[in-house]
A and B are shown apart, each in its own frame.
Chain A
């Protein structure tokens, strides 16, 4: 089994390295595409084998020493296979395969060099993500974490000649790097305290009183990677990348790496109660806040991006409430339906060549498969039974309620925020559906038509998964991870469902019937706040005021102190030389005097010394 798991690492890495080294192969485009696609398919098979073997089996760890410090092994690399990592491996493999397939059609207009570059990075990402998922310790996880960050940077900036894409790539890189400092500090603290990078229960206990601090630093990295308020601002901008990239990296897998870090390091987070309360607050607020912003967006990808922030907020809140399986379960279901929604959006964008909802409309007749699969994804995201999203969201809400009732009353705050956000989620998603698929077709949408099999195949596959990742696997899957969860019909779940249906009704009233709802105008100021990019401005001002202030003072120091010293040396040498050159009179007699004077001095010196 570990051989197969190792294959999921070395296979994609081999393809990526081959394509990096063999420039002709990469630039040919289609060879790179075929290699990468084959490897993605082989990776799915390998992940299925790993999952079937790991199912119900004890964890297997295969490690090899990697770093040495003062005579002993400091860190290892290898694979750690248990039901948690195996199921994540499967999710990543399936979504990656779908996305790569989708990309073939989506990027068919790109030059061959671009296609080669794209699939090289896709393979590198697959390797990095698998290495992250299978990491046997937090150090390997950190290395892979940075690698997926790099892939994210490269793929957001895929159209690097477009200034907005290049800026978005940089922004994503800087924001996540800033947050990654937290992971690094946490790792250093943990190593300093326990002498290892393990995420076992023993390692967590060994941390003793430090456990909350370490967990908090880890959580800062989670906030960056999983786009939690206020570090979420890079994710909407990351939509500048190709849509399949958004589906794979910025919806399904890479942004979920933050949540996965918490799941992996759960023994540490379980003991860190203060940090978990903070997580629940941040998660709940992000779920609500991002949903607010999503409501006022007009760009279909931006809506989905904020929706991703919001759903990640749910996961973080569930983890904060102490229910690991609920958060992780939502991660897996969300990966399928959000990848589905992004690929559906990609199909729409491919058809109408625009991201704006106003350029769509009436598309369901022209693109029935996209409409149906997008609709399934929307229903799943809105939390409508029997789709997967309903059950995972219900688990999260129940986890929050359970936590609030039994140990921490403050958890009512994220609970209320998450319940409200459930209704808003349904509203903004159905707004997309009604505006894109119904109503009058816009000028752009006149000639839209359904894509080929490469576009529709992944949509259908993911739509099936969005359905079957729900109640059919709920209890057995969570049972594999630890605490088996059962679905119960509860008042809370019905309330969330009612709110979701209300949201759908509101969307129907406003965007399909074109009607109005009395009293809705009162919410307009809220919409203005959501549109105002206040968080972006905050970071921008912090950057301008803080970082630039420091840079300015450093520049002043450099210009007036360092440069002054250097100029002093230069001017001194120049002036000194000006004086010394007068010694060279050019008259022979003077030199003779100098020689004899020197002789006398030397003789006198030797006499004195003697």
Chain B
């Protein structure tokens, strides 16, 4: 039973990585990050089926933290938009060495 959950989580995670590394839009990258976070949560739920309820409580905390992270991420995106009038991440390359 658990390996199905883990398989779905792995696929989700891989999709997230793919999204983060290929999307040019900052919002898309944020969505992909969310995918990866949820994949991790799903893993936790899956393991919780064996280990007990404490894992499920932990997932609730993780979701709350993810939301906070999204808030910060979206704030960054808004700031990016205000300064550059777009949210294309490849164009924001001032840190190039």
Residues of A that sit less than 8 Å from B by CB: 580-589, 592-593, 596
Kindly identify which residue among A580, A586, A589, A592 contacts B95, using a CB–CB cutoff of 8 Å. Answer: A586
The CA-CA distance from A596 to B29 in the complex, in Å, is 15
**Contact between A582 and B17, CB atoms less than 8 A apart:** no
Residues of B within 8 A of A (CB): 17, 20-22, 29, 89-90, 92-97
Asked if B89 contacts A587 (CB within 8 A), the reply is: yes
Residues of B within 8 A of A584 (CB): 95-97
On chain B, the residues within 8 Å of A596 by CB distance are: 17, 21
Q: Please, how many angstroms separate the alpha-carbon atoms of A596 and B97 in the complex?
A: 21
On whether the beta carbons of B96 and A586 are closer than 8 Å, the reply is: yes
Task: Give the distance in Å from the alpha carbon of A583 to the alpha carbon of B93 in the complex.
Answer: 13
Chain B min CB distance to A579 (Å): 10
Chain A residues closer than 8 Å to B17, beta-carbon distance = 592, 596
Task: Point out which of A582, A585, A588, A593 has the most chain B C-beta atoms below 10 A from its C-beta.
Answer: A588
Smallest CB-CB A-B distances: 10 pairs: A586-B96, A584-B97, A586-B93, A581-B97, A586-B95, A588-B89, A592-B21, A592-B20, A589-B21, A587-B90
A586→B95 CA distance, assembly (Å): 5
Residue numbers in A under 8 Å from B29 (CB-CB): 588
User: Which residues of A have CB within 8 Å of B89?
Assistant: 587-589
Query: How far, in whole Å, are A582 and B29 apart by their CA atoms in the complex?
Result: 24
Which residues of chain B are within 8 angstroms of A593 by Cβ–Cβ distance? 21
Asked if B21 contacts A582 (CB within 8 A), the reply is no
Cα A344 to Cα B14 with chains together (Å)? 108
> Could you list 29 A-B pairs, sorted by A, with CB under 8 Å?
A580-B97, A581-B97, A582-B97, A583-B97, A584-B95, A584-B96, A584-B97, A585-B93, A585-B96, A585-B97, A586-B92, A586-B93, A586-B94, A586-B95, A587-B89, A587-B90, A587-B93, A588-B29, A588-B89, A588-B90, A588-B92, A589-B20, A589-B21, A589-B90, A592-B17, A592-B21, A593-B21, A596-B17, A596-B21
Q: Which residues of B contact A585 (CB under 8 A)?
A: 93, 96-97
| B92 neighbours in A (Cβ, 8 Å) | 586, 588
A581-B97, A584-B96 known, 14 other contacts, Cβ within 8 Å: A582-B97, A583-B97, A584-B95, A585-B96, A585-B97, A586-B94, A587-B89, A587-B90, A588-B92, A589-B20, A592-B17, A592-B21, A593-B21, A596-B17
Residue of A nearest to B93 (CB): A586
Q: Name the residue on B nearest A582 (C-beta).
A: B97
Flag if A586 contacts B20 (CB, 8 Å): no
Q: CA separation between A589 and B95, bound complex, in Å?
A: 13
- Closest beta carbon of chain B to A592's beta carbon, Å: 5
Q: How far is the CA of A583 from the CA of B96 in the complex (A)?
A: 8
Q: Once bound together, how far apart are the Cα atoms of A587 and B26, in whole Å?
A: 12
Minimal Cβ-Cβ distance residue in B for A580:
B97
User: Distance in Å from the Cβ of B33 to the closest Cβ of chain A?
Assistant: 10
User: CA A587 – CA B93 in complex, angstroms?
Assistant: 5
Output the nearest chain A residue to B94 by Cβ-Cβ distance.
Answer: A586
On whether the beta carbons of A589 and B97 are closer than 8 Å, the reply is: no
CA of A473 to CA of B93 in the docked complex: distance in angstroms?
A: 102
A578 CB, min distance to chain B CBs, angstroms: 10
Interchain nearest-CB distance for A257 vs B (Å): 70
Closest B residue by C-beta to A585: B96
Rounded to whole Å, the gap between the CB of B14 and the closest CB of chain A is: 10
> Chain B nearest CB: distance from A585 CB in Å?
6
State in angstroms the CA–CA spacing of A587 and B23 once bound together.
12
Chain A, Cβ-Cβ closest to B24: A589
